[in-house]
């Protein structure tokens, strides 16, 4: 039989990913992990089937996280007072004026403040809030409803967003001609909540259609119809389920239906799980599955996801078609402000460059407007990318296509993506 030390070593990374997904502060995370390991060691003799070790220790981690939040709640009768202004300014209300938020919260009662804190800032499911506060789930729902209503009634700004069905628009067969012009204005900061690589914002009610276009033919290769289908939970982490129907423009290829679970927080957007069909078996792969999940769906330190609050960091610098960057992982930065003229419309954008963050040998340009929506996405392959598969360098395969020089290496423009947002 495997020893406790051997089993812990095999499953330690999964436990750490689980806890780091739940807690935002590293010091608190380390403390909770120590409690998890100590409790697991002390109770190991009670585990009858060591094949269940992973599920068993994850359940201990879940309980320790709940204990952490329960202690926080008991310490903070008015917990909003302990939140920094930076955290408040990026709340799910989409507020940028911190003083207005603070002033509005000061007008609310203690119970309203507490429930808003637990639900929005600590992102606890309502069922966990009920356990933590020792009140019925129905009371949590009614208290949260009233707290949100009271906040909205007292908050000085109102949203002009129209609710309802989002109408799908048909994408063109060929990519419209476009121009990208460097602006003399300073780049702006932007709230970017789209899923990296899929362009959909993981919020209830969201829908989107986007297309992939070959270069230089500009012909559409495939269309993706995406929508959020409802709430979902993965290992105790709340997110939303979304589907993507991939329709190839060639009649020789099959339509593919994909399913994901993703989570949007105040600071990051990340994938939690994906459904893969292996023959007749539906194979659910989650963030705890290590190499089966992380290379394709993971991003950021401890799989935190991509940042949603983007400002120029200076980690990537661009001068025309020459790009230089720091030597570090997860390189994604705003490199300038550009006017993109496409489909007869002019868009004021910032260019977000991604250097090999999700795929070695791949660089992308993503032009975002002030709403954080993608206007144009362009992919460039390093000259030797997938050379075993394609047998030639990309300067030979696509000799007329645009090129970039990134840290001294040549990258060749391969394809573009647009969404129905620009139509």
- Residue 121: its pLDDT value, please? 65
- What percent of the chain is modeled with pLDDT above 90? 44
Strands 403-406 and 322-325: parallel
Mind listing the pLDDT tens digit for each residue in 315-360? Answer: 999 999 999 998 877 788 999 999 999 988 999 999 999 998 766 7
CA neighbours closer than 13 Å in the CB half-sphere of residue 124: 28
Q: What is the pLDDT of residue 382?
A: 94
Q: When comparing pLDDT for 151 and 19, which is higher?
A: 19
Question: Domain 4-75 - what CATH class?
Answer: mainly alpha
pLDDT (tens digit per residue) in 32-86: 999 999 999 998 888 888 888 988 998 899 888 877 776 765 554 434 444 333 3
* Mean pLDDT confidence for 80-96: 33
Domains 4-75 and 79-154 share a fold: no
Q: Is the pLDDT of residue 98 over 50?
A: no
Domain 79-154 grouped into CATH 1.10.10.10:
yes
pLDDT in tens, 196-254: 889 999 999 999 999 999 999 999 999 999 999 999 999 888 999 999 998 988 766 78
Q: How would residue 299 be classed by pLDDT, with cut points 50, 70 and 90?
A: confident
Q: For residue 159, what pLDDT is reported?
A: 39
Could you tell me which residue, 401 or 72, shows the higher pLDDT? 401
Q: Determine the pLDDT at residue 79.
A: 42
Whether the per-residue pLDDT at 96 is higher than 50: the answer is: no
* Domain segments of the chain as ranges: 4-75, 79-154, 172-192+308-423, 194-302
> What per-residue confidence (pLDDT) applies to 155?
57
Mean pLDDT along residues 372-388: 94
Top pLDDT among 169 and 317 is at 317
Average confidence score pLDDT of the chain: 83
Q: What is the pLDDT of residue 167?
A: 39
pLDDT at 388: 86
Backbone angles phi, psi at 307, to 5 degrees: -65, 145
């Amino acid at each position: 039989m495997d020893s406790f030390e051997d089993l812990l070593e095999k499953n330690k990374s999964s436990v750490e990913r689980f806890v780091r997904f739940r807690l935002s502060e590293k010091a608190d995370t380390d403390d909770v992990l120590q409690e998890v390991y100590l409790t697991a060691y002390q109770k190991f003799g009670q585990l009858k089937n060591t094949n269940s070790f992973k599920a068993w220790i994850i359940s201990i981690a879940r309980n320790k996280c709940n204990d952490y939040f329960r202690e926080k709640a008991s310490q903070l009768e008015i917990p909003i007072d302990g939140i920094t202004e930076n955290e408040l300014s990026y709340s799910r209300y989409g507020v940028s004026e911190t003083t207005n938020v603070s002033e509005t919260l000061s007008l609310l009662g203690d119970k309203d403040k507490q429930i808003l804190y637990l639900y929005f800032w600590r992102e606890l499911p309502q069922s966990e809030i009920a356990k933590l506060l020792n009140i019925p789930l129905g009371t949590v729902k009614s208290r949260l409803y009233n707290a949100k209503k009271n906040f909205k009634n007292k908050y000085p700004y109102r949203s002009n967003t129209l609710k309802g069905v989002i109408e799908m628009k048909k994408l063109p067969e060929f990519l419209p001609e476009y121009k990208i012009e460097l602006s003399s204005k300073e780049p702006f900061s932007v709230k970017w909540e789209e899923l990296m690589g899929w362009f959909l914002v993981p919020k209830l009610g969201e829908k989107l259609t986007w297309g992939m276009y070959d270069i230089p033919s500009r012909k559409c290769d495939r269309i993706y119809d995406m929508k959020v289908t409802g709430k979902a939970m993965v290992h105790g982490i709340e997110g939303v389920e979304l589907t993507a129907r991939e329709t190839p423009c060639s009649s020789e290829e099959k339509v593919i239906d994909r399913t994901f679970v993703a989570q949007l927080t105040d600071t990051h957007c990340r994938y939690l799980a994906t459904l893969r069909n292996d023959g007749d078996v539906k194979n659910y792969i989650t963030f705890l599955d290590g190499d089966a999940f992380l290379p394709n769906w993971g991003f950021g330190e401890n799989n935190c996801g991509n940042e949603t609050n983007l400002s120029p960091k200076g980690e990537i610098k661009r001068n025309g078609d020459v790009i230089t960057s720091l030597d570090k992982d997860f390189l994604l930065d705003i490199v300038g402000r550009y006017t993109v003229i496409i489909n007869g419309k002019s868009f004021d954008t910032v260019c977000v460059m991604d250097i090999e963050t999700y795929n070695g040998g791949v660089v992308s340009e993503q032009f975002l407007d002030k709403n954080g929506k993608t206007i144009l996405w362009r992919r460039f392959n390093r000259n030797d990318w997938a050379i075993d598969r394609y047998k030639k360098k990309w300067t030979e395969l696509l000799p007329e296509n645009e090129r970039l020089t990134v840290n001294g290496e040549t990258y060749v423009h391969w394809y573009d993506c647009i969404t129905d947002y620009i139509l």
